[in-house]
């Protein structure tokens, strides 16, 4: 049986010089004995997987409401796709795939119900109270809100995993590790590919319309798929080939950037002026155009905008109801109102809800008491 020391030695022997090694971890905020058979990052990964917040991702919106259909991506399936991409590319580049996997599994824990629409609504409701950002909320969940042990708040993850969740606020922190940079790239890669696929599946996007997009036109040319209407098999082929194209380009361009910069350690990565996990210039341009296209043609589609309105009404009603009558909060949230601002406690409660739970809770407030569901 391999011990933790054996696994750490294997990392040091196999991984690239610029990879983040488990044995070099800066530790945890609250010192604790490490596992005899798992590395520190394996322990982090397992703690994230067993959180309530991770299980709730199954019933949280990606683009289409969770109840819209059985085959659309949810926050959970998106997270697993990000994990797969990050782990695959990390293995190819000789990076620490366990750290990349851990950050990928935790990166969307802070998303509220109703996708980005829910995030915008909560941010507006929390104006004057610090706002709301799903990346900051993910850090809050693993550092404060999830509490499997009484000895300390949160999951007590390693500082490397926590730093990987600092996606935007990096003042005085330098560049993220290559593993964290990879998760950022894998996140954008996964949602670009699967949102195009879900857009086609839903009928909100058409193949003919997508052919006006340079990325899609080049993909269609690569696969030899032409015509205005796609078969089910052709749609699947295009999605598969798009993933392969993006992953291959990301891997090759990142490898070239790492070699060109000559980084010889994980510490050297942190002080570089630019990130090393990147695409080729050609694909970067295509992806920028694709992002603009998706925003205008899918994320702002009138059918999706109806979901935005629903999210606004549900979350706004619930927020004001709980702020005005905090006694309706569950006991564990009521207990925190003496130590934290009420608006933040309410926001934490709402952000943790699934789409379904938020809709049911809203209905229970609006409906006659005799029809209210039990919670």
* Cα 328 to Cα 370: distance, rounded to the nearest angstrom: 17
pLDDT of residue 71: 58
Q: What is the mean pLDDT of residues 142-162?
A: 95
**Residue 326 reports pLDDT greater than 70:** yes
pLDDT, position 234: 95
pLDDT of 293 above 80: yes
**For residue 363, is pLDDT > 80?**
yes
Q: Residue 171: pLDDT band by 50, 70, 90 thresholds?
A: confident
pLDDT digits (tens, 9 = 90+) for 3-29: 999 999 999 999 999 999 999 999 999
Residue 102, Cβ neighbours under 10 Å: how many?
A: 31
pLDDT given for residue 3 in this prediction: 98
187, 107 contact by CB (below 8 A): yes
- CB crowding 275-304: b at 16 or more within 10 Å, else e: bbbbbeeebeebbeebeebbeebbbebeeb
CA–CA dist 38, 42 (Å, integer): 6
Q: pLDDT band at residue 366, thresholds of 50, 70 and 90?
A: confident
Q: Is the pLDDT of residue 373 over 80?
A: no
Instruction: Label residue 374 by pLDDT band (50, 70, 90).
Output: low
**Three-state DSSP class for residue 316:** helix
State the pLDDT at residue 192.
96
What is the model's pLDDT at position 64? 60
Closest CA to 139 of 110, 182, 105, 103: 110
Q: What is the pLDDT of residue 276?
A: 98
**Other C-beta atoms lying within 10 Å of the C-beta of residue 48:** 25
* Nearest one of 201, 195, 197 to 61, comparing CA atoms: 195
Work out the mean pLDDT of the chain and round it to a whole number: 93
pLDDT digits (tens, 9 = 90+) for 32-77: 999 999 999 999 999 999 999 999 999 998 776 544 555 588 999 9
Mean per-residue pLDDT, 339-358: 96
Tokens of 189: 């890669």
Q: What's the pLDDT tens digit per position in 218-268?
A: 999 999 998 888 999 999 999 999 999 999 999 999 999 999 999 999 999
Q: What is the pLDDT of residue 66?
A: 46
Contact 78, 108 (CB under 8 A): yes
Please count the CA atoms within 13 angstroms of the CA of 162 that sit on its side-chain side.
18
Residues written for the chain: 375
* pLDDT confidence of residue 104: 98
- Number of CB atoms found within 10 A of residue 175's CB: 18
pLDDT band, residue 367 (cuts 50/70/90): low
Question: Domains along the chain?
Answer: 4-304 (1.10.3210.10), 318-371 (no CATH)
Helices 178-202, 97-106: inter-axial angle, 10-degree rounding: 50
């Amino acid at each position: 049986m391999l011990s933790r020391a054996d696994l750490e030695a294997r990392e040091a022997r196999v991984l690239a010089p610029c990879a983040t090694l488990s044995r070099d971890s800066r530790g945890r905020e609250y010192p604790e004995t490490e596992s005899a058979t798992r590395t520190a990052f394996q322990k982090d990964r397992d703690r994230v997987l067993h959180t309530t917040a991770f299980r709730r991702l199954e019933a949280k919106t990606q683009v289409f409401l969770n109840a819209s259909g059985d085959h659309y991506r949810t926050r959970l399936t998106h997270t697993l796709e990000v994990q797969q991409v990050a782990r695959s590319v990390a293995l190819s580049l000789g990076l620490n795939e366990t750290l990349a996997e851990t950050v990928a599994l935790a990166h969307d824990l802070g998303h509220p119900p109703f996708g980005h629409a829910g995030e915008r609504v909560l941010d507006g409701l929390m104006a004057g109270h610090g706002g709301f950002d799903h990346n900051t909320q993910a850090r809050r969940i693993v550092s404060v809100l999830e509490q499997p042990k009484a000895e300390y708040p949160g999951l007590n993850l390693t500082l490397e995993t926590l730093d990987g969740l600092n996606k935007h606020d990096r003042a005085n922190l330098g560049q993220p590790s290559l593993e964290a940079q990879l998760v950022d790239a894998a996140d954008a890669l996964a949602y670009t590919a699967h949102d195009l696929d879900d857009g086609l599946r839903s009928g909100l996007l058409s193949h003919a319309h997508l052919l006006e997009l340079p990325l899609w036109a080049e993909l269609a040319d690569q696969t030899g798929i032409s015509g205005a209407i796609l078969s089910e098999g052709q749609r699947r082929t295009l999605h598969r080939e798009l993933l392969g194209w993006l992953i291959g380009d990301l891997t090759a361009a990142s490898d070239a950037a790492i070699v060109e910069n000559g980084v010889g350690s994980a510490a050297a990565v942190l002080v570089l002026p630019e990130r090393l996990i990147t695409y080729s210039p050609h694909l970067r341009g295509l992806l920028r155009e694709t992002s603009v296209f998706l925003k205008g043609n899918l994320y702002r589609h009138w059918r999706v905008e109806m979901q935005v309105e629903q999210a606004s009404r549900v979350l706004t009603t619930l927020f004001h109801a709980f702020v005005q009558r905090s006694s309706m909060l569950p006991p564990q949230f009521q207990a925190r109102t003496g130590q934290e601002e009420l608006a933040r406690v309410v926001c934490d409660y709402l952000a943790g809800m699934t789409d379904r739970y938020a809709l049911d809770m809203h209905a229970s407030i609006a409906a006659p008491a005799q029809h209210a569901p039990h919670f």
